[in-house]
Amino acid sequence: MRKFDVIVVGGGPAGAVTARVAAKAGATVLLLERRSQIEEPSACAGLVSPRTLSVLGASEACVVRRLRDATFHAPGGTVLSVHATSDRALVVDRSTLERELLARARDAGVEVRLGVSATAWTGGALEMAAPDGKETAAAAVLVGADGPESRVALWCGLRSFALGLSAAQAEVESAPEGDRVDVFVGRHVAPGFFAWSIPAQTGRLRVGLAVSSGVPPAPFLDRLLESRFPDRRVVARVEGTIPVPLPADGRIAGGGALLVGDAAAQVKPLSGGGLYFGGLCARLAGRAASRAAREARDCETHLERYETACHELLGPETRFGLAARSARDALDDADWDRLFSLLNRSDLLAVVSERIDIDHLRHMVPPLVSHPRLWGTLFTAWDLVRRRLGAEGGVAGSRDECL
């Protein structure tokens, strides 16, 4: 039986970055990915901030679009448009990104094996199903980077979230329509979340949505395609799960194992994006796994420190996102129409356009409230949300968290 310091289960971005960082820190690392080829369609919309590439350690080879503009659509037809003067988002090709990150992991000394599934973890030994049969490998630390339905979490008694969103996305053919993201809100469109249209490769759009757990997303995606994108040929469709972190922090490390990325629900609660948060925590995970493997006596201490560091790093934005998500989910379609009418002010949208940061949405709040002329609109909007939350019996957190 072969022995490694660290075994990483899952070859997505979070797993590849964790493995690379651990290897560079001196650990012997094995990375397993159940897919035999990194070509499968992904439910990931691929919309990231420019800083995400440096966090992941990726080049711009995966970038297919640079975006400055976004339009938000209310159920009744009112739109809010944001026009930034610099690139605020990138659209990446997920397969290209993953292949590059796996190549960089190999260059760092990681043994990467595709088409191999982890099947059980017992007493420091991992059982695997490989193309040539069953295998076993030992490790001091096991890393679960295996997504929302993490088997590593199940084997090791770890849990970071208790609910998820059901997502569906289609890639459709389209004529060039400019570099703009469209976001569609409303319970009729996507109950419990929102829908999107994101330009990808030339002549292609990624059209998708997510809905509350237990609600089939396919009928809502069909309706969106029929109403907004009629006569567009669907090239591919895929469904997946977006994990949603809970306000009470769950365990993501312990017992010789740690979770990272979607397995640890390291995603933005408001948008569901996970590449930036997952990349930040993967760097922490790689260093923690390497230290824990090399310093066996302090293994659990290093794992606990990783968990604490992740909570401190993501906590402020996660709490803000959960509060904002509660407020968003309390609104019905009439509320959305009223809210969009209130916010449809050129001076307010100009502030948003200048300061929008898709990784740190809470940072937009101080610039907005620093303009007294906007106070009436902001307080009227807040009162609408507050009353709806009271009617729904929801809790969105304190006013300071939301505004």
Q: DSSP secondary structure string, 345-367?
A: -HHHHHHHHHH--TT-GGGGHHH
Percentage of the chain exceeding pLDDT 90: 80
106-141: per-residue pLDDT in tens? 999 999 999 999 999 998 999 999 999 999 999 999
Q: What is the pLDDT of residue 392?
A: 63
Mean pLDDT of 323-336: 92
CB atoms < 10 A from the CB of 224, how many?
21
Mean pLDDT of 222-243: 93
d(CA 290, CA 160): 22
Q: What is the pLDDT of residue 231?
A: 86
CA dihedral 249, 148, 50, 270 (to 10 degrees): -60
pLDDT for residue 176 is more than 90: no
Q: What is the pLDDT of residue 41?
A: 62
| CB-based burial, 197-216: b 16+ in 10 Å, e otherwise | bbbbeeebbbbbbbbbeeee
Segments of the chain assigned to CATH 3.50.50.60: 2-316
Out of 35-44, 267-276, 362-371, pick the least confident. 35-44
pTM of the complete model: 0.92
Who wins on pLDDT, 398 or 106? Answer: 106
Q: What is the pLDDT of residue 403?
A: 36
CATH class, domain 2-316, is alpha beta
- The two structure tokens encoding residue 315: 């906590």
Average pLDDT taken over every residue of the chain = 91
pLDDT for residue 308 is more than 90: yes
Q: What is the pLDDT of residue 7?
A: 98
Mean pLDDT of 64-90: 95
203-214: per-residue pLDDT in tens? 899 999 999 988
pLDDT for residue 42 is more than 80: no
Mean pLDDT of 151-179: 84
